[in-house]
Amino acid sequence: MNITRRIIFTAAVAILCSALCAAGTEPEADRAFGIIEAADDQLAYKGDYSCTVSLIVEKPGKPKENLQYKMFERIGKNIFTMVQIFPEADKGVGYMRDGDNIWSYDPISRKFSHSSLKDALGDSDMKVDDMSNEDNHWRRNYKVTEFREETLGKYQVWAVKIEATTNSPSYEISELFIRKDIPLLLKRCDYSASGRLMRTILIPKYAKTEKGYVGYQSIMRDDLNPGEQTTQIVSDLKFDPLPDRIFTKAYLEGLN
């Protein structure tokens, strides 16, 4: 076989192998996304809902800080309104999303400014993105890079590593650990693009409601700063239809 024919043959084999590998991994990626979406489907957040979210921020050498927000969201429409209700000094600080547009509201200056889902809430380890239960989030913003079975404590879990394909996610790489018996997210690890562990989220407490499961408590650890963590507690969860006016700038302006 001459050199030219050998090069062509080698290239053809490489292309064929690449196609076979893609065909083999694509169903696995689809299965992994299906498991993540099944975990979302188990949650109670469907249609309209409102709740109170309390954040307990712990940092070494500092007293605990308590923050509290009221959250309103319409699942499937990519809209939410969030307003801070505690502490008193920050009361009325708000965030609003309408599709790809995100604004923050300052009640003192009474001005809106474009914001990001990646912004932190106060001095906590929670980001605006963590408060949202956006529909169809995973397939639109990630690709699956690993999919395996593991044991996490007493649970058999699926471990799915995903990598961001858009600029929307707060972290480049995340790993999700989802129960096999009931698809519920138990743990999430967020990494930088270089693979450095940035944040770990644990969800130790779920409760079942008439609409589905609710993770009433979650713990977010800052892995870059040992000892720093934020505990999130969800309360006053309601699934009543929300008036359209709640998802407007006028609503946030009218609260003060």
What are 102-127's pLDDT values in tens digits?
889 999 999 999 877 667 676 676 66
Predicted local confidence at residue 125, as pLDDT:
66
Residue 158 forms part of a structural domain: yes
Place of tokens 């109670």: 44
Domain count of the fold of the chain? 1
pTM score > 0.85 for this model? no
Burial class (CB in 10 A: 0-12, 13-18, 19+), 100: exposed
Q: Which pLDDT value is given to residue 129?
A: 66
In a domain, 235, yes or no: yes
Q: Averaged over 144-171, what is the pLDDT? A: 94
Q: State the residue range of the domain holding 175.
A: 41-254
Q: Is 215's pLDDT higher than 90?
A: yes
Give residue-wise pLDDT tens across range 130-143. Answer: 666 665 689 989 99
pLDDT tens readout for residues 45-71: 889 999 999 999 999 999 999 999 999
Residue identified by tokens 């609409």 is 211
CATH number at residue 57: 2.50.20.10
Q: Where are any strands of DSSP class E within the chain?
A: 48-58, 65-74, 79-86, 94-98, 101-106, 111-114, 142-152, 155-164, 173-179, 185-191, 197-209, 212-222, 229-238
DSSP-assigned letter for residue 243: P
